[in-house]
């Protein structure tokens, strides 16, 4: 699972519906979780700016803590880099020139021999993987 469906789920988007379907098991990288946590403050600001949750929280810090808690409750296994390091070079060759931040999640996808859930166009056209978008997962 890439970062963008996680962002969507935290924002209450369509990805949240997919996350709790029993037919899927989700894995991601420590790097992806770090990336999400890095932007939690911006996510909180976005939610307070345009969300139904506006009245629930008195300040951004309170919402940030709630988002951290929600992230921890997602049915998601975080995989240590040691489990996919042997695919880092291949992943870097495949996607590093497009987006270096996608190398870890692509390496995990390659090592686990599983599809990647992402709406990121950088993964399109990679013959080595199966790319699933949120819309695909909602249809199945």
Closest CA to 87 of 72, 102, 98, 73: 102
Copy the structure tokens of residue 101.
Answer: 């931040």
In order of 18, 29, 38, 53, 106, the CA distances from 81 in angstroms are 25, 7, 19, 35, 12
Report pLDDT for 57.
57
Domains of the chain plus CATH, in order, are: 3-139 (3.40.50.1010)
Write out pLDDT tens, residues 45-98.
Answer: 777 776 655 555 566 777 788 888 899 999 999 999 999 999 999 999 999 999
Report pLDDT for 54.
54
- How many other β-carbons are positioned within 10 Å of the β-carbon of residue 24? 15
């Amino acid at each position: 699972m890439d970062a963008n469906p996680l962002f969507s789920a935290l924002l209450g988007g369509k990805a949240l519906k997919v996350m709790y379907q029993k037919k899927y098991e989700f894995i991601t990288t420590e790097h992806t979780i770090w990336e999400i946590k890095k932007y939690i403050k911006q996510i909180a600001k976005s939610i307070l700016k345009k969300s139904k949750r506006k009245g629930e929280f008195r300040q951004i810090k309170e919402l940030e803590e709630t988002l951290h808690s929600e992230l921890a409750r997602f049915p998601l296994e975080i995989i240590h880099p040691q489990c996919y390091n042997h695919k880092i070079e291949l992943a870097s060759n495949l996607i590093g020139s497009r987006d270096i931040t996608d190398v870890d999640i692509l390496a995990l996808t390659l090592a686990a021999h599983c599809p990647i859930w992402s709406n990121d166009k950088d993964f399109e056209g990679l013959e080595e993987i199966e790319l699933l978008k949120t819309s695909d997962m909602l249809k199945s």
